[in-house]
Structure 1
């Protein structure tokens, strides 16, 4: 009887604890302890663009601008539209390994998705139209490609998997717009790396939902000038949510980048 009572008490405790975690998650301030886990390996192909300086990879469809300033450097890749997911894949991290080619190295490269490799409908999918749907393809910055294969290969078969993004220094928020329209580019996100939803809260407002603009940018049509700003983000992949409190001071300005002290785990 005592053993049964102990098990019953433990069951009640676990149920209550689970409900409490769900409530916190729905409230938006709880990051699930499981975090984002690496996915199984899959097959794809990889090419490269630009030269050894990776200058051609700056900017891109995710809107990260100078990738050195954004924290991504040259370990980046443009994704075919099948992977890009209309920009929701921006910031995701992948491990890529060359396979089944005489040009392969044994090294595994870890890259961040920062750009879109658009379809080339004038070329066959197997002869130049490497990023045509439904192909899964990585167009890597040349320095990243040279970690997995000799550049003269041009294109190589690869295995790849999603992995947690390991970032330092916290999430970065780059501001554009004006006092009545705030456009924010979200960068340097750890964990799942991506963002599905975003909210902003000023010192004089409640939470305001921000709509997805393009790439890794979100916008709010509201009067937010003169207010310190707090942001809430939900990962596209892991659904983890985190609050970055007091990211920008009340005298924030467009054209500036503000860094939070927190990040996805």
Structure 2
């Protein structure tokens, strides 16, 4: 009995330590889920987070759009969620386990149907690709109760930076972010400047009006866990708009 109690205590302690290290809320919460598209995935381009081609960027079909209550004006873009079907034998696939998806889009509210729109505030809702939804529930379910929790993102390779804009306005899309996944602050530094605070334009697009052409560029990123990573010389001095640069580091 003493050994059993010790093991239970140890397991509880490890869970607490993991939560403390990640900073994520690892508790399960109630929500609902629907799906879009077909078994090929449907919408895989652009979206309210600004990612663009989800297959090229490594997200594929393992993505979700979030309702207003979860989207947080785009700050949740890049966050990862673990989702399970909420023990409904009629709709849930027995033994399905869980899925992990990255937030890449917004499920907009429809106030013309206040009692029949699952993305209206204050509802917490996930709009999944059909292939991900049907890992948890039967196609005929349409809308099904789920439970979810935040989970650390596991990404291959370094953080990616895609440059857009013009010589007088630089817009940088940040993606393939591990750890918390959702970047909350970005600073940029040219080889001839100090650190410059960028502002969120939309989703995970960050902007500055400082002219940075002809300079090699470094970045400092902070995520929602308040972890910071500094990546020097991400882009060489001859960087170009429309190009993608690999930071070679991640959280």
Rounded to whole Å, the distance in 1 between the matches of 2:200 and 2:24 is 25
Q: How many residues align?
A: 229
Look up the match of 1:133.
Answer: 121
Whole-Å Cα distance in 1 between the matches of residues 164 and 249 of structure 2? 22
Selected match of 1:73 from 40, 53, 60 = 60
Q: Structure 1, residues 42-100: CA drift from partner, whole Å, max 9, x if none?
A: 11000011111113142110000000111111010000011001100000000000113
Within-5 A mapping of 1:26-175: 34-37=21-24, 39-101=26-88, 102-105=90-93, 106-125=96-115, 127=116, 129-175=117-163
Runs of 4+ with >6 A deviation: none
> How many Å separate the matches in 2 of 1:55 and 1:86?
24
Q: Secondary structure at the match of 1:68?
A: coil
The answer (yes or no) to whether the contact 1:61–1:116 under 8 Å persists in 2 is yes
Partner Cα distance (1:197, 1:215) in 2? 12
The CA distance in 1 between the partners of 2:210 and 2:167, in whole Å, is: 8
RMSD: 1.3
Aligned partners of 1:245 and 1:99: how far apart in 2? 45
- The equivalent position to 2:175 in structure 1, one of 179, 187, 210, is 187
Deviation at 1:37, TM superposition (A): 4.3
Distance 2:210 2:78 in 1: 26
Q: Which has more radius of gyration? A: 1
Quote the Cα distance in structure 2 between the aligned partners of 1:241 and 1:223: 25
Q: CA deviation at 1:38?
A: 5.5
Q: Do the aligned residues in 1 keep the contact of 2:42 with 2:129 (CA within 8 Å)?
A: no
TM-score, structure 1 normalization: 0.84
> Where does structure 1 lack aligned partners over 5 or more consecutive residues?
1-32
Answer whether contact 1:38 1:164 (CA < 8 A) is retained: no
The question of 1:233 aligning with 2:226 is answered no
The equivalent residue for 2:10 is none
Out of 47-56 and 198-207, give the one that drifted further: 47-56
Once the two structures are superposed, residues 88-113 of structure 1 have per-residue CA deviations (whole angstroms, 9 ceiling, x without a partner) of 00000000001132121222110000
Q: Does 1:219 align with 2:187?
A: no
TM-score by length of 2: 0.88
